[in-house]
Amino acid sequence: MTWEILFVFVLLGYSVYNFVSEKISPDLTSLSVLGTLLFVSMITGDNNLPSLEQTLSVFSHPAPLTIAGMFIVSAALDKTGLIDYITGYLGKLTQLSYRKFLFVMILGVAAASAFVNNTPIVIVLMPVVLSLAKSMNVASSKLLIPLSYASILGGTCTLIGTSTNLLASGILKESGYAPIGMFELSAIGVPLIFAGCIFLVLFGDRLLPHRETLTAILSEEERKEFITEVFVRPQSKFCGQSAINCGLINHRYIRLIEIIRNGVVIKGHLKEQVLEAGDRLLLACRPSSIASSDSEEPYQLPEDLSSDLEIIVTTEGLVIEGIVTPHAQIVGKTLEEINFRQQFRMVLIAIHRKGVNLRDELNDIRLEEGDTLLLMGSMTAIDNLSNSDQIIILDRLRKKTKPDITKQVITLTTVIGIVLLASLEIIPIVASVIFGVSILLATRCLNPSEAYKSVEWSILVIILGMLALGQAMTSTGASHLIAEGIANSLSNIGPASLQPFILLAAIYIITSAFTEFLSNNAAVALMIPIAISLAINLGIDPRPFVVATCIAASASFSTPIGYQTNTYVYGAGGYRFTDFTKIGLPLNIICCVISIILIPRIWEF
């Protein structure tokens, strides 16, 4: 083993560890890998590592540019209201039984996800599904996981259905093989959709938990609170005491949100702040603490506080839930940095992130995409928030703007054009996507700032870093060494005639395991060089192994962190981590078995 191979293995171990532990964000991990490869290739001179120019060539790889373009195309479909047609269609089906509705929903969402990035589809449909669940008297948890799974299954059907397919096609072409065709994967993707649909319809009601979102559990009265602004009276016993010492923090029905002194919001931990006469306090107050129902005032302070605090104004508020969108400007920032309450006129009560409820020191927590937020605010603030592209409110459908039919026609025609040009191989997929994006921008179906915001740059950074690592694995012989190790360890299992099938299953299972805990794009970028090396060692066509890698990297159902859409429904449906394993692991096994049986029949070894 050369030092170059050992070096690449160290980078591979570093990447896998950070992807799983999340101590460093996946995009930063990939960027550090790319930077390390560039640095080492410069200082070591001639060796088996890719040169500086070869490493930089990942920036000219067609896959990241194509993926960025498809993000923009998906944003145009969302903005022009074409995705909303699915909403209207599902709304007409609420009279159906749970199983019939589930069947139609899965097929409809899967069909749309074959051509549109699945994240915006799931984000748009989550409030719709929650609303329909109420009208059908079905727990929202019975529908949200199937919604995510349907979007994932749909992505396996076409080249543009998911970024992993585009990335795999690009790597395959760079390795000297024909790229994946637009509908080539449909031969395996369509059977997987129907198998997944049948499984979810037959066993979903039994395997999916019966849970609701927090606000769905609360009654309308329990969701109501008063946002009350008071000031500390002169000579009050509160003067000179911290909020916690004077008992305000621990009051049963009152929550201190903000302290304002001389027109300036006090920073730091509220419970430790010493109060002064004239301080204005913003309180969230439960209706059950109303002292007298006969009063004309909407809210009265409890008797033990009324002698020390005087109400300035009271507004009736409502508790709602929202999800931070992928492209929100608030991602990565604390509440203080974005001046959350002043910007949104809402109070953040709690954050639900990956199965954990965060309620303490909220001002110090940096928001992440997919965070489920428990918010409280006035109806006016909620209405304003429903028009925001920062947070999607789960408790109500988003407001639809009047559709521009002309732009809808242009957008739909552009998508069809991209598909046809790539399918007929008139021009490469990257060229057709860039041409389509230029049409969408020129016709103002999407403005440039919206286009830039729609691109998930973190995913592109992950792809670039993992492409560079995959390139280094190939050039140093690390991927060949891993492929040999896999082949040798499985050589004694079954007769020689079955070895390709056994190794195909091994590649699928390893990729699937990687995808459950790593980025799916990272799994593809790392596994395809190994899959190609394995096929070359066996003297067979690598295409079946590449297809298996594509499917395994997309068919991620067992954990809520394996695929982005799973992460979004995780908090919204009130799920636990094991809920995904309970229904997702059998679906993973079904997809694995079907793939291993069908792939060699469609793409011969």
Question: Please, which residues have CB within 8 angstroms of residue 551's CB and are 6 or more apart in sequence?
Answer: 156, 185, 188, 189, 192, 508, 591, 595, 599
Share of the chain above pLDDT 70, in %: 93
Predicted confidence (pLDDT) per residue in 161-194, tens digit? 999 999 999 999 988 899 999 999 999 999 999 9
Question: Rounded mean pLDDT of the chain?
Answer: 85
- Note the pLDDT of residue 289: 45
Identify the weakest region by mean pLDDT among 192-201, 395-404, 511-520, 588-597. Answer: 395-404
Q: What does the pLDDT average to over 305-321? A: 81
Angle between helices 163-174 and 62-79 (to 10 degrees): 160
Query: In angstroms, rounded to a whole number, what is the distance separating the alpha carbons of residues 201 and 192?
Result: 14
Q: What does the pLDDT average to over 490-519? A: 87
Contact indicator for 439, 413 with CB cutoff of 8 Å: no
Domains detected in the chain: 3-60+458-554 (no CATH), 64-214+405-456 (no CATH), 217-393 (3.30.70.1450)
Contact indicator for 188, 602 with CB cutoff of 8 Å: yes
Question: Please, which residues have CB within 8 angstroms of residue 52's CB and are 6 or more apart in sequence?
Answer: 38, 41, 42
Predicted confidence (pLDDT) per residue in 328-341, tens digit? 788 888 887 887 87
- Note the pLDDT of residue 435: 94
Query: In angstroms, rounded to a whole number, what is the distance separating the alpha carbons of residues 380 and 215?
Result: 19
Identify the weakest region by mean pLDDT among 214-218, 471-475, 512-516. Answer: 214-218
Of residues 260 and 211, which shows the higher confidence score?
A: 260
Structure tokens at 523: 């799994």
Q: How many CB atoms lie within 10 A of CB 402?
A: 6
Strand partners, 256: 283
Of residues 342 and 65, which shows the higher confidence score?
A: 65
pLDDT above 60: residue 441: yes
Contact indicator for 70, 162 with CB cutoff of 8 Å: no
- Note the pLDDT of residue 291: 44
E-assigned strands of 249-326? 254-261, 264-265, 280-285, 309-324
- Note the pLDDT of residue 40: 87
Predicted confidence (pLDDT) per residue in 531-576, tens digit? 999 999 888 999 999 999 999 999 889 988 778 888 888 877 878 8
